[in-house]
């Protein structure tokens, strides 16, 4: 990790992304509570989360934009736009203005899809291929660390100063992110040209590549199964805490905190595991850990449930880091936005279906039976991963470019002034992931 953090561009981009992530997570969590305070309605608070999810489901469209436009510029413009949009919430005065919060969350979901796909495309220029697993692990560590502190930040600001100050705080984090990206010194060419056979070909190119690649196809199928099970589990969490353990619903926060803490550890350990057994086997081990942990969530003992949540959080972090590494190494850069968008649609769609199924199951069966069912589904993802023999390596064979979509040559790019070695590595690996 020290070798990774020696790279100036990596340090600056991670700082910008981390600050923005903290602001967003704090806002997302507190926005539902703010709506509840304004309206007194729990369903309206739930609509806010739905709006955020609906925005992320437009990822195939945003992925196309990421592949058509200059990615660094797109990230900066997206952050500027979201910062200005969030600031409009200072005019929220009562229940009649809640629609403004919903609109901001919807566009925040779109911005999240744009930023994640664009950053995935830029990582090839920021990180040498042999350090990609380390970069993914560090990203997971920062994400889990943010999850540990953002509830206190978001709810604390909302309680002390109200939603208007929270909106200004979130907008300021977008401004900091923009400032950081202006300091990142990399070339920012257009990743691709328009396809000769039209927009439809461009739109389906990400799905076509995703399901034609043996490695990525296996990852996305296993991840979709896993996230469907996660959706079931998320819906069952309150029943586990209240019915099974006899605690107040807020005790769910204890389990989430434990999962974040062990997820941070999993993010640290995942790169070493990937280097030892490969991304696919590492993901399979992470899914196996989750499969072992889930049945114990139904135990009528708080200590056992906390331990199970900890094991589950660590295993899930390994899965996320392994999946991110595989997608970075196995996807041509010119297709990165659309492949990421296609994968996000499949996986987030599976999670939403899981949440819906979990809500239905709670009404027709005992919560323990539903937990065991989610463990069986989760095990299906592990089986898919363990059955695969394909894998990715830091030096993957270059994929054929799609018709009409030509990646810009990186061999002719000048190296960043203080990172010649890293730039040389990236030039040698252009479009090879």
Tokens 């590595």 identify what position? 425
The verdict on 171 and 208 lying in the same domain is no
- pLDDT digit string, tens, across residues 65-90: 999 899 999 999 999 999 999 999 99
Q: What's the confidence (pLDDT) of residue 405?
A: 39
Q: Are 324 and 274 in contact (CB under 8 A)?
A: no
Do 266 and 209 lie in a common domain? yes
- 148 or 410, which is more confident? 148
Per-residue model confidence (pLDDT) at position 193: 60
- Together in a domain, 76 and 114: yes
Greater confidence, 42 or 413? 42
Q: What integer pLDDT is reported at residue 237 of this predicted model?
A: 81
Identify whether 399 is part of a domain. no
pLDDT at 79: 96
Domain enclosing residue 311, as ranges: 202-392
pLDDT exceeds cutoff 70 at 403: no
Q: Is 409 among the domain residues?
A: no
Nearest to 233 by CA among 140, 144, 319, 362: 362
Last residue of a domain, one of 137, 156, 187: 187
Q: Mean per-residue pLDDT for 273-301? A: 93
pLDDT digits (tens, 9 = 90+) for 303-355: 999 999 999 999 999 999 999 999 999 999 889 999 999 998 998 889 888 88
Mean local confidence (pLDDT), 158-179: 95
Alpha carbons within 13 A on the beta-carbon side of 313: 26
197 confidence band (pLDDT: 50, 70, 90):
low
Q: Is residue 417 part of a domain?
A: no
Q: Give the Cβ contact number of residue 190 at 10 Å.
A: 16
Asked if residue 163 and residue 227 are part of one domain, the reply reads no
Indicate whether 375 and 309 sit together in one domain. yes
Same domain, 146 and 210: no
In a domain, 252, yes or no: yes
pLDDT at 136: 93
Residue 46 lies in a domain: yes
Average pLDDT, the chain: 85
Does position 418 have pLDDT exceeding 60, yes or no?
A: no
Q: In terms of domains, do 226 and 154 share one? A: no
Judge if 161 and 72 occupy the same domain.
Answer: yes
Domain boundary (159, 187, 215) is at 187
pTM: 0.84
Do 214 and 323 share a domain, yes or no?
Answer: yes
Residues 356 and 231 in one domain: yes
Of 162, 187, 212, which one is at a domain's C-terminal end?
187
DSSP assignment of 262-303 equals HHHHHHHHHHHHHHHH-HHHHHHHHHHHHHHHGGGGGSS-HH
Percent of the chain topping pLDDT 70: 88
How many domains are there within the chain? 2
- The whole-angstrom separation of Cα 324 and Cα 321 is 5
How many Cβ atoms from other residues are within 10 Å of residue 248's Cβ? 11
- DSSP annotation of 237 reads H
Residue 246 to residue 5: CA distance in whole angstroms = 45
Confidence band for 47, pLDDT divided at 50, 70 and 90: confident
**DSSP assignment string, 313-351:** HHHHHHHHHHHHHHHHHHS-GGGHHHHHHHHHHHHHHHH
List all residues 6 or more positions away from 123 whose beta carbon is below 8 Å from its beta carbon. Answer: 132, 135, 328
Using alpha carbons, select from 316, 304, 266, 328 the residue that is nearest to residue 141: 266
pLDDT (0 to 100) of residue 271:
94
d(CA 185, CA 182): 8
| Residue at 153 is within a domain | yes
Which domain CATH number covers 79? Answer: 1.20.1250.20
Report if residue 401 sits inside a domain.
no
pLDDT tens sequence across 360-373: 887 788 889 888 98
Q: What is the pLDDT of residues 91-146, one digit of tens each?
A: 999 999 999 999 999 999 999 999 999 999 999 889 988 899 999 999 999 999 98
Instruction: Clarify whether residues 131 and 258 are in a common domain.
Output: no
Tell whether 254 and 145 lie within a shared domain. Answer: no
DSSP state of 73: H
Please report whether residue 176 resides in a domain. Answer: yes
Contact of 70 with 188, CB cutoff 8 Å: yes
Is residue 148 a contact partner of residue 261, using CB atoms and an 8 Å limit? yes
Does residue 108 contact residue 52 with C-beta atoms inside 8 Å? Answer: yes
pLDDT value for 406: 37
């Amino acid at each position: 990790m020290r070798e990774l953090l020696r790279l100036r561009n990596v340090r600056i981009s991670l700082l910008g992304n981390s600050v923005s992530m903290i602001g967003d997570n704090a806002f997302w969590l507190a926005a539902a509570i703010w709506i509840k305070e304004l309206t007194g309605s729990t369903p309206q608070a739930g609509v806010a989360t739905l709006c955020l999810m609906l925005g992320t489901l437009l990822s195939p469209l945003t992925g196309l934009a990421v592949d058509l436009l200059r990615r660094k510029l797109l990230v900066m413009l997206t952050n500027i736009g979201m910062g200005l949009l969030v600031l409009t919430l200072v005019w929220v005065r009562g229940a009649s203005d809640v629609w403004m919060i919903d609109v901001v969350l919807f566009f925040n979901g779109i911005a999240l899809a744009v930023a994640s796909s664009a950053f995935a495309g830029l990582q090839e220029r920021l990180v040498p291929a042999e350090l990609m697993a380390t970069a993914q692990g560090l990203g997971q560590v920062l994400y889990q660390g943010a999850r540990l502190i953002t509830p206190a930040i978001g709810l604390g600001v909302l309680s002390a100063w109200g939603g208007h100050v929270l909106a200004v705080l979130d907008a300021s984090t977008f401004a900091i992110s923009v400032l950081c990206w202006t300091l990142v010194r990399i070339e920012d060419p257009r990743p691709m040209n328009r396809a000769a056979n039209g927009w439809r070909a461009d739109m389906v190119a990400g799905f076509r590549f995703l399901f034609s690649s043996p490695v990525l196809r296996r990852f996305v199928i296993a991840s979709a199964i896993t996230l469907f099970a996660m959706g079931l589990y998320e819906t069952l969490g309150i029943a586990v805490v209240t019915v099974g353990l006899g605690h107040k619903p807020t005790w769910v926060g204890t389990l989430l905190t434990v999962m974040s803490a062990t997820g941070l550890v999993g993010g640290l350990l995942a790169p070493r595991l990937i280097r030892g057994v490969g991304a696919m086997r590492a993901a399979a081990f992470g899914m196996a850990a989750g499969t072992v942990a889930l049945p114990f969530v139904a135990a009528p003992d708080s200590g056992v449930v906390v331990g199970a949540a900890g094991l589950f959080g660590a295993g899930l972090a390994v899965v996320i880091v392994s999946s991110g590494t595989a997608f970075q190494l196995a996807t041509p850069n010119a297709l990165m936005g659309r492949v990421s968008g296609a994968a996000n649609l499949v996986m987030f769609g599976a999670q939403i279906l899981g949440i819906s199924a979990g809500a239905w199951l709670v009404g027709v069966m005992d919560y323990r039976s539903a937990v065991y069912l989610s463990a069986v589904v989760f095990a299906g993802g592990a089986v898919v991963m363990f059955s695969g023999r394909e894998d990715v390596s830091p030096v993957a064979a270059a994929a054929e470019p799609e018709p009409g979509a030509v990646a810009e040559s990186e061999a002719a790019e000048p190296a960043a002034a203080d990172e010649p070695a890293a730039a040389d590595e990236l030039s040698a690996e252009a479009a090879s992931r």
